[in-house]
A = this chain, B = another copy of it.
Amino acid sequence: MHSENRVSRILNTDYPIIQGGMAWASDPILTAAVSNAGGLGMLASGSMNAEDLSLEIEKTRTLTERAFGVNVMMLSPHLHEIIDLLVQERVHLVTLGAGNSGKVIGKLKSAGIVVAPVIASVAMARRAESVGADMVIAEGMEAGGHIGRVTTMALVPQVADAIQIPVVAAGGIADGRGMAAAFCLGAEGVQMGTRFVCSVECQVHENYKERLVKASELDAIIAGVGSGHPIRCLRNSLTRKIDVMEKRGAEFEEIERIAVGGLRRAVKEGDMDNGSVMAGQICGLVKEIVPVDKIIRSMIEEFTHIFRDHSGGSLS
């Protein structure tokens, strides 16, 4: 198989597969495991300060010599010190989520860092390209965590038609079938979150992994629509409480009070009732916890077989 394309060349990886940077769940061990297996591992700076992130980067470098990246939330209270740190550390890739990334792209680019905004619409993709992004992560609303409104199937071909830089598809992808589908739609790489959470190397609480493995596609609902910042997570006591509060017209601040710290409660304490168990709709496909290198290897094998089986355009 030709394992190289525009995205793997830009990422300096064996395969154009990125592990989504997930606050609390993406740590140096997972990140290094993905990079060592030929993909691109990602730390997530979340609402960390620069000092904490610096320690994570340092630790990751002790675990891998390969390229890795950091996801940055544009809404981070420590945005500017985080960007300064990344420029200084020259991590390979920075993905930018939740906000207008135009302001920081120039700074990162001039340090030679590959920049990929996470986008949820054609207009956002065009804007990212116009401000100098190297590629975009086109994330469908079946993804876990903070989401937009357009699905991967609808978003990826429309984005691919609109821009020249490469498109990496995210949302609803957990195996070689999803990767092959994304490539048919015009993507040149994939980013996965839920699948990598259910890896041996991911350090989330065992309850979290077990809950994901048992979940069906209908369990990954959308919470907090009323807040304007919807997130996809597994239905539980917390999402039911938020739902009741939204129905009676509670203020954002009141809902925020019961939701705050929810992701940490789920990931670190294993509280599956009152924690925020972020997961994508593809969770129903994830049936076992396996090592990262097995996830990547079997994906690439399946991807290759699919195109071999259909080569010549055969329908069956």
Interface residues of A (CB under 8 A from B): 1-6, 8, 15-16, 121-123, 140-142, 149-155, 157-158, 161, 171-173, 175, 177-178, 180-186, 188, 216-218, 221, 280-282, 284-285, 303-308, 310-316
Contact yes or no, B158 A217, CB < 8 A: yes
> Could you show 12 A-B contacts with beta carbons less than 8 Å apart?
A123-B218, A142-B151, A142-B153, A150-B217, A153-B178, A154-B280, A155-B217, A157-B175, A178-B185, A180-B184, A307-B312, A308-B313
Task: Collect the chain B residues with CB atoms within 8 Å of residue A217's CB.
Answer: 121-122, 150, 154-155, 158
Nearest Cβ on chain B to A298's Cβ, whole angstroms: 14
Q: In the bound complex, what is the Cα–Cα distance between A140 and B8 (angstroms)?
A: 30
Q: In the bound complex, what is the Cα–Cα distance between A173 and B142 (angstroms)?
A: 16
- Tell me the number of copies of this protein: 2
Q: Give the nearest-CB partner of A306 in chain B.
A: B184
Contact yes or no, A316 B171, CB < 8 A: no
Q: In the bound complex, what is the Cα–Cα distance between A142 and B142 (angstroms)?
A: 10
Contact yes or no, A152 B149, CB < 8 A: no
Contact yes or no, B316 A311, CB < 8 A: no
Contact yes or no, B216 A122, CB < 8 A: yes
Task: Collect the chain B residues with CB atoms within 8 Å of residue A284's CB.
Answer: 122, 154, 158
Most chain B C-beta atoms within 10 Å of own C-beta, residue among A122, A153, A154, A173: A153
Contact yes or no, B186 A3, CB < 8 A: no
Task: Collect the chain B residues with CB atoms within 8 Å of residue A3's CB.
Answer: 315
Most chain B C-beta atoms within 10 Å of own C-beta, residue among A8, A152, A217: A217
New A-B contacts (16) at CB < 8 Å, excluding given A150-B281, A154-B282, A183-B310: A2-B313, A2-B314, A122-B284, A153-B282, A154-B280, A154-B284, A154-B285, A155-B281, A157-B282, A158-B285, A177-B186, A178-B184, A181-B181, A304-B313, A306-B313, A307-B314
Task: Collect the chain B residues with CB atoms within 8 Å of residue A185's CB.
Answer: 177-178, 181
